[in-house]
A = this chain, B = another copy of it.
Amino acid sequence: MLSSKGFAAHSAQTPLAPFTFSRRAPGPTEIAIEILYCGVCHTDIHMARNEWGQSMYPMVPGHEIVGRVAGVGSAVKKFKVGEIAAIGVIVDSCRKCEPCDRGEEHYCLEGPTLTYAAKDRVDGTTTMGGYSNNYVVDERFALTVPANLDLAGVAPLLCAGITTYSPLRHWKVGPGMKVGIIGLGGLGHMALKFAHSFGAHTVQLTTSPKKKEDALRLGADEVVVSTDEEQMKKHAASFDFIIDAVSAPHEMAPYLALLKQDATLTIVGLPERPPSIDIFQLISKRIAVAGSMIGGMPETQAMLDYCGKNDITADVEVIPMEKINEAFDRMLKQDVKYRFVVDMSSLK
């Protein structure tokens, strides 16, 4: 057994607090990593505070994990002790169904095992996340990290990165397309970087005029203030694809009005209230509203490799573990550019 320490939520109402627990020693195909950085995702707040009604306590959140390999099982091929490894939102799946066979473990028909607050398929315990000093995972669900990237900036790629990279790839975003990003937060700023990098004409849609400069710096070709009806009207029926990265409840109609015939708006944020969709908007342009969730392991590796080649990381504010509750509060006020990342050396 490995002894572990981290920060846990002990109830929906109390702040995260120090917590010690243990993890199994790595099996033949597993690795143990010493966690260096863990990103702070909006999901961590939803889960810690039981906003989706499925939380179990104590809960160690965190699913944007970068660390150093500290131990490897006898059959491990991909990693050596001392190398850098990363873990994202899922750490296991049935490994037998069609989606798993084609490397889409996130759409596993039995459901993938989430990195925290889920039942571990190996030992039946509750998975404990990356707000901690170590993790044990099968090498299939661990990723290699390009050597040139800043490791704190890599951590958010494991959720915010792949969550936006995957739909942009799936809907074939590239040159000649006009692509909109709704929301400039953790997910939105990664969507912006990727859409720009893929060669699309990239438009940041935001309710905050003061984010304009930053959006342009991050790769936007244009910035549209979505509360300005005049600006929105100018862009009506002109977008080939829109990615909705806002996790607060919001109206869909103004954004659906921006789509061209046969275009798609894909939701990757998770508001608590379901949106209401105007059917007339859908049928009058044969448009679609879709959803997308992270990505499979091969695509997550491809995303990290792409980031290495194109020097892409998240814009982060590094904090010590003891500032996590303050970070949660600041995130709810959108007071972060654009992702908090916990430096796990602060746990020692």
Q: Which A residues are closer than 8 A to B by beta carbons? A: 99, 104, 107, 109, 167, 170, 237, 261, 264, 267-268, 270-271, 274-293
* In contact, A107 and B277 (Cβ under 8 angstroms): no
Known: A167-B286, A285-B291. 7 other contacts (CB 8 A): A264-B288, A274-B279, A283-B292, A286-B290, A286-B292, A288-B290, A289-B289
Minimal Cβ-Cβ distance residue in B for A104:
B261
* Copies of this protein, total: 2
Residues of B within 8 A of A285 (CB): 107, 291
* In contact, A277 and B279 (Cβ under 8 angstroms): no
Listed by A's residue number, 6 A-B pairs whose Cβ atoms lie within 8 Å are A107-B286, A275-B277, A282-B290, A283-B291, A284-B293, A286-B293
Please give the distance in Å from A204's CB to the nearest CB on chain B.
Answer: 22
| Alpha-carbon distance A261/B102, docked complex (angstroms) | 13
| Alpha-carbon distance A283/B291, docked complex (angstroms) | 4
Residues of B within 8 A of A293 (CB): 283-284, 286
| Alpha-carbon distance A275/B276, docked complex (angstroms) | 6
| Alpha-carbon distance A237/B107, docked complex (angstroms) | 11
Minimal Cβ-Cβ distance residue in B for A267:
B279
* In contact, A270 and B264 (Cβ under 8 angstroms): no
Minimal Cβ-Cβ distance residue in B for A289:
B289
Please give the distance in Å from A100's CB to the nearest CB on chain B.
Answer: 12
Residues of B within 8 A of A278 (CB): 274
| Alpha-carbon distance A261/B167, docked complex (angstroms) | 14
Residues of B within 8 A of A264 (CB): 288
* In contact, A279 and B275 (Cβ under 8 angstroms): yes
Does more than half of chain A's interface fall in helix, strand or loop, or is it mixed? Answer: mixed
B276, B284, B288: the one contacting A288 at CB < 8 Å is B288
Minimal Cβ-Cβ distance residue in B for A253:
B274
Most buried by B among A275, A283, A284: A283
| Alpha-carbon distance A293/B284, docked complex (angstroms) | 6
Minimal Cβ-Cβ distance residue in B for A52:
B280
Most buried by B among A270, A279, A285: A279
* Given A237-B109, A261-B99; A279-B283 close (CB under 8 Å): no
Please give the distance in Å from A260's CB to the nearest CB on chain B.
Answer: 10
B99, B261, B270: the one contacting A279 at CB < 8 Å is B270
Residues of B within 8 A of A270 (CB): 279-280, 283
* Given A275-B277, A290-B288; A283-B268 close (CB under 8 Å): yes
Residues of B within 8 A of A267 (CB): 279, 282-283
The 10 tightest CB contacts between A and B, nearest first, are A282-B291, A283-B291, A288-B290, A283-B293, A288-B288, A274-B276, A107-B261, A286-B292, A289-B289, A274-B278
Residues of B within 8 A of A99 (CB): 261
Please give the distance in Å from A160's CB to the nearest CB on chain B.
Answer: 14
* In contact, A284 and B291 (Cβ under 8 angstroms): yes
Please give the distance in Å from A263's CB to the nearest CB on chain B.
Answer: 10
Please give the distance in Å from A96's CB to the nearest CB on chain B.
Answer: 16
Please give the distance in Å from A178's CB to the nearest CB on chain B.
Answer: 14
* In contact, A279 and B271 (Cβ under 8 angstroms): yes
Residues of B within 8 A of A282 (CB): 267, 289-291
| Alpha-carbon distance A279/B292, docked complex (angstroms) | 9
